[in-house]
Structure 1
């Protein structure tokens, strides 16, 4: 299958590598020269630079606006797709935006799969992302070789685009709240003088454990705020949660509070760093040291972190 992956960041780069490893004829698309170089295979700066006759394109941009430009803009990839080719759009967006993109694809004679993903950079590199997809049977069938290459689990959520997007928004409510809760717990532990490495081990062996606590607090223990997923992403995604909830006349107070914490992370100049370091909001208030900082615990380098 001749296909393209648009967006070669932590998720897109891993997905492109997984598709290549599965034997697909993959071209990466990213405006960043560094991202293209890291892919190490064929890569172009714009969708319009792709070879003609692409059977599928996987879109892993930050938001709907980027996805629209990358697909349907003047330099977009849609013009390089073969007739009846499939767009697999995995950007996180509002359901209404997914429906608009699907309609635009249909006008161009293309299939569209509304297919947000989860799992993080490691799952992307290993070809085991979770895909929350909705679309026609024809879109699922056309996308199957690409989905098999990048996903460990594909959920079929119905025939109508927008259902995949809605599921991802629900998922991001939980993800954002869990990260904020994990950071708050670690902040309390540090303020109480507990050893953060011991806290990490105790929590992960007890009922208070969560996937986000284990994954994100490992970044804190390592003293590594490299943005595998930046705090600013949750300013956007929890904003989508609030919008969807407002349209449904449903209060989401926990999501709203978590959103304000990620806004605070941005306000102190840390929004571009890893989302686990929303912990620095509490640090700014209480003044404790994090692992790897002067006065803090030594960074953790063993595999369980």
Structure 2
């Protein structure tokens, strides 16, 4: 089975490497960055700089780019993959986007005789590398069946959200409400403790041993302790994703005050020049406001 992976970033590279190890799959990665291409080739795969340069006859394509506009360009744009896709190829789109955009992409795929699986993922770079991502997917049964060899290689669990494209993306938007609010709350708690004189490592150790812990606190505040702002997921991602949350909530006439406030905090971090930094460093908003001293890297 010929499989293309579009986007060899922190999650795309992990997914592509797991596909490369899976039996019966011939994998080509797509990324404009030469360093990403070289890394995938060194692992034994094939790589090209443009989706249009994928070998003809692709039977599945996994799209792991940032947003709907990039996904549309990757599949159907002038330099997109469409011309290299075999009839009935399944487009597995894992970008976080608005449900309306997922439905529009699915309609375009259907017009071209392609299958479409709306398949956002969770788990970050660690799960992508381990092949244990969580997938929340929706689409036709034919799309699920065609995508199965790919999903088996990259995911620990696949949730079938239903037959309609857009349901998977809706679930991911709801998930991102929780993820963004949890990161913002974790940073706020860490900032308050530091401001009040609690030593950073002690603060962290107590929280992760007590009922107030969350996965996001334990994972992201370790980045703060390490002083490592290299992004596994960037501040800018949550500016975008929490915007999707508030857009969906507005369409459903549902107030989401916690998500809205968290988006403002991530927006403030971007305004401080932290947009490309790890999302844990939304804490630099409080650093700027309160003059707290963050832990430094060893």
Same fold (TM over 0.5): yes
Matched, 1:81 2:82: no
Which residue matches 1:31?
A: 32
Equivalences for residues 214-233 of structure 1 within 5 A: 214-233=218-237
Gap runs ≥5 in structure 2: none
TM-score (norm 2): 0.97
What pairs up with 1:16-95 in 2 under 5 angstroms? 16-23=16-23, 24-39=25-40, 40=42, 41-95=45-99
| CA distance, structure 2, for counterparts of residue 58 and residue 258 of structure 1 | 30
Question: Which portions of structure 1, spanning 4 or more consecutive aligned residues, are displaced by more than 6 angstroms?
Answer: none
After superposition, what is the alpha-carbon deviation per residue over 1:55-79, rounded to whole angstroms, capped at 9, x for unaligned? 1000001000000000001111121
1:203 aligns with 2:207: yes
Which residue does 1:8 correspond to in 2? 8
Q: Secondary structure at the match of 1:282?
A: helix
SS of residue paired to 2:277: coil
What displacement does 1:201 show? Answer: 1.3
Secondary structure, aligned partner of 1:84: strand
Once the two structures are TM-superposed, the CA of residue 129 in structure 1 deviates from its matched residue by: 0.3
Structure 2 match to 1:276: 280
Give the CA deviation at 1:42: 1.1
Secondary structure, counterpart of 1:113 in structure 2: strand
The count of aligned residue pairs is 294
Q: Which runs of 5+ in 1 are unaligned?
A: 293-297, 300-305
Post-superposition shift, 1:81?
Answer: 1.1
In structure 1, which of residues 127, 130, 134 is the aligned counterpart of residue 134 of structure 2? 130
1:240 maps onto 2:244 in alignment = yes
Deviation of 1:185 after TM superposition, in Å, equals: 0.4
Q: CA deviation at 1:202?
A: 1.0
Give me the whole-angstrom Cα distance separating, in 2, the residues matched to 1:86 and 1:278.
37
Distance 1:37 1:260 in 2: 38
1:189 is matched with 193
| Structure 1 residues 206-261: Cα deviation after superposition (integer angstroms, max 9, x where no partner) | 10010100110111111100011000000000000000000000000000000000
Give the structure 1 partner of residue 255 of structure 2: 251
